[in-house]
Chain A
Amino acid sequence: MIQTTNLSKEYGQATVLNIEKLDIPKGQSLGLVGNNGAGKTTYFNLLLDLIQPTTGFIKNNDIQVDQSEEWKPFTAAFIDETFLIGYLTPEEYFYFIGELRGENKADIDTFLEQFSEIFNDEILGKKKYLRDLSKGNQKKAGIVAAMIGSPEVIILDEPFANLDPTTQIRLKKILKALTNNKQVTVLISSHDLGHVTEVCERIVVLEKGNIIKDIKTSPETLKELEAHFTL
């Protein structure tokens, strides 16, 4: 589904990302792990064509992302709060995203019903703007919005950070369900090794922009990762 070839990103002298090859097949759930500055967000930004690669390219479903925009209809992402429109209520934001993805109001209303557990009555019908919600609730709204319109590729940057324990568990359930039928490709980054090994079938470890581990998740993976990050 997603092929990365000779991709690098440099700012001045510093190389922040350098991936020779990374292929992610359709339906895979991939976890990106790495310390601060490892290049996780940079990779996502390149994948979403928000920054320009210095060399190389990414192909999303055979569409080179910096050449054509045809990848946008089937790709959705939530990187950070700048993906929210602060002066809209959550409902208005969901409808907005829905309209961009060709779904009408009724579709969205039905879609949102399945998330009532996650929303915990703190998001819908509260007559508050997104900018006035707490960080955790903003995150919930952003993650749910990234699932609108059945995208084939979902990109979530640190989805578990800022979420309360209950929501973390529920989110894991949702992410697992998403990839169960092998139709949706999910990319998430996380600092929480436990969560990411639980949700993802493949873990890629980045360090200073380079891939240094590429593991198929097994019961030993968590131990292996913990050992790797223990210095």
Chain B
Amino acid sequence: MFSKFLSLEWKQFKRSSYWQKSVILNIFLVLLALYFLVSFLVLGFFLYPLLEKQFPDQDPLKIVNGFILYWLLFDLVFRYLMQKLPALKSKPLLSMPIKKKYLIHYILGKSVFSFFNIFAMFAVIPFGIVLIMHNYSVGSVLAWVFSLLCLVLTLNFVNFLINKSNHFFIGIAILLLTTLSLDYFNVIDFKSISATIFNSIYANPLSILAPVTLLIGSYYLNFKDLKSKLFVDGAVSKNLKDVNTSDLSWTNRFGEMSTFLKNDMRLIWRNKRPKMVFIMSFIFLFYGMMFYTNTKYMNMPAMLVFVSVFITGMFTMNFGQFIPAWDSSYYGMLMSQNIKYRKYLESKWFLMTAMTLVLLILSIPYAYFGWNIIMLLFAGAIFNIGFSSLFILFAGSFNRKRIDLDRSAFANYQGTSATQFLMIIPIMLFPMLIFYLANRFFGFNYGVLALTIVGTIGIVFKNYFMTKIEKLYIKNKYKQISAFNETS
């Protein structure tokens, strides 16, 4: 039975559109995974000698034990955000003569081979080997490694149980923050609690029964949970809440554009992925703190240009890079409707411009760090409005990847292709280069002026550029319609 599932799985994997992603993106993802694997491996092998050198009078294992609870909590948060629930397309199998038990064991068993568990293994096992090489008792080290792996897998299963609701996540995040701060202010010493627990596992190998029990318990709970849900209606019918409809008729003042503006606002607010893009652009306002508080960067004006373009252009870049793919699921309808392409593009431009201005206004408190910062932020915003947004609309005409709006926003590369990488590079590097040259030869103010001029040229000749962009979209229309129709 399992071999049949495996062969189904293999076909799904081999034939998935995943491999039809651009080569560059695949290479990038593979490199990223390799990078993490190597990092964890290096961590596992070199943690011991490093700690030994740094704290010669302490036992490295005990130091590590002090941090394990934190590591597990962080791990859970990461998993919550990134790890996808394992899925076997179960609906077609439910009516087949297959015992549900097998299906569930298979789904759960498969999740053990998630990257998150493998990464942990890559750190824990080498560390254990190093311990044994340093004459720690073999039996105890094995017990220690084994319990950690059990706990990692427990987290794996716990994550599936709590991943269904945001409340748990907020709870864990609060727990993590409070323990960190309580520890920081020396109210409660969580490090020593953690150390006590894991030292005792090392000292008394029989206590591995505890993590094993946790693992079995979490597996059993998942099994029960899945078993109760493995019905067609559980998988199919979602919990439907009444939706909030808002009038948005105030947008009517923007004329013909308002039709699309209303749609875009609803698009952003009612779909996970664009909503995340929207929220992230506000969170990244704080990105400035990392640079403005650091004197090293404060003396590198070209770097500050990067920050100002980035902060004010976060929405333009992240939302804009997927125009018109956001509308891909109904693109054919839009194209056969009574629509002027120009108005459609103008409304996207307007949205990006409005958000750039909002982000600029919100970043004004950075004036605290000096007049130069504010000048750069304004120049960056003008550059984004005049150059980035038009450039991104231009590049968008090469988008050929569909986006399903309903999928999650984290670690979702759907719709990403080489186009996205190619379009972000000039938007980030071009302003730095302009500024760098002008600053180098004429001084800071001229650098700011140069950025402003480039942006202003874009704004003044917007209609000219828009006409060109519009032609490009019309030229690419058929290709885009057929590409967006390819469901993955």
Residues of A near any B CB (own CB < 8 A): 48-52, 72-73, 75, 77, 79, 82-89, 91-92, 96-97, 99-101, 127-129, 131-132, 149
Contact = CB atoms under 8 A, between A and B. Distances in A.
Contacts of B243: 89, 127-129
30 contacts: A48-B335, A48-B336, A49-B336, A50-B336, A50-B478, A50-B481, A51-B478, A52-B478, A72-B336, A73-B338, A77-B336, A82-B331, A82-B485, A83-B332, A83-B333, A84-B333, A85-B330, A87-B267, A87-B271, A91-B245, A92-B245, A92-B266, A97-B337, A100-B259, A100-B337, A100-B338, A100-B339, A129-B270, A132-B238, A132-B240
B389 to A, nearest CB: 24
A6 B242 CA distance: 51
Given A48-B336, A91-B245, A132-B238, A84 B330 contact: yes
A92 B249 CA distance: 12
Nearest to B485: A82
A50 B263 contact: no
A97 B330 CA distance: 13
Interface string B476-488: 0010011001000
Contacts of A48: 332, 335-336
Interface in B329-363: 329-333, 335-339
Contacts of B245: 89, 91-92, 127
Interface of B: 238, 240, 242-243, 245, 258-259, 262-263, 266-267, 270-271, 329-333, 335-339, 405-406, 478, 481-482, 485
A96 B263 contact: yes
A148 to B, nearest CB: 10
B330 A51 contact: no
Contacts of A149: 338
B330 A50 contact: no
Residue in B338, B478, B482 whose Cβ sees the most chain A Cβ within 10 Å: B338
Given A50-B335, A82-B329, A86-B329, 9 more contacts: A48-B332, A83-B332, A84-B330, A84-B333, A87-B271, A92-B245, A100-B259, A128-B242, A149-B338
A88 B266 contact: yes
A82 B333 contact: yes
Contacts of B485: 82
Contacts of A72: 336-339
A101 B267 contact: no
A50 B330 CA distance: 12
A96 B333 contact: no
Contacts of B482: 51
Contacts of A129: 243, 270
Nearest to A73: B338
Given A72-B338, A87-B271, A82 B330 contact: yes
Contacts of B262: 96
Nearest to A87: B270
A128 B335 CA distance: 25
A73 B338 CA distance: 5
Contacts of A49: 335-336
Contacts of A85: 263, 330, 333
A215 to B, nearest CB: 28
A51 B481 contact: yes
Contacts of B406: 86, 131
Contacts of B242: 127-128
Chain A CB within 10 Å, residue with most, of B259, B331, B332: B332
Nearest to B327: A85
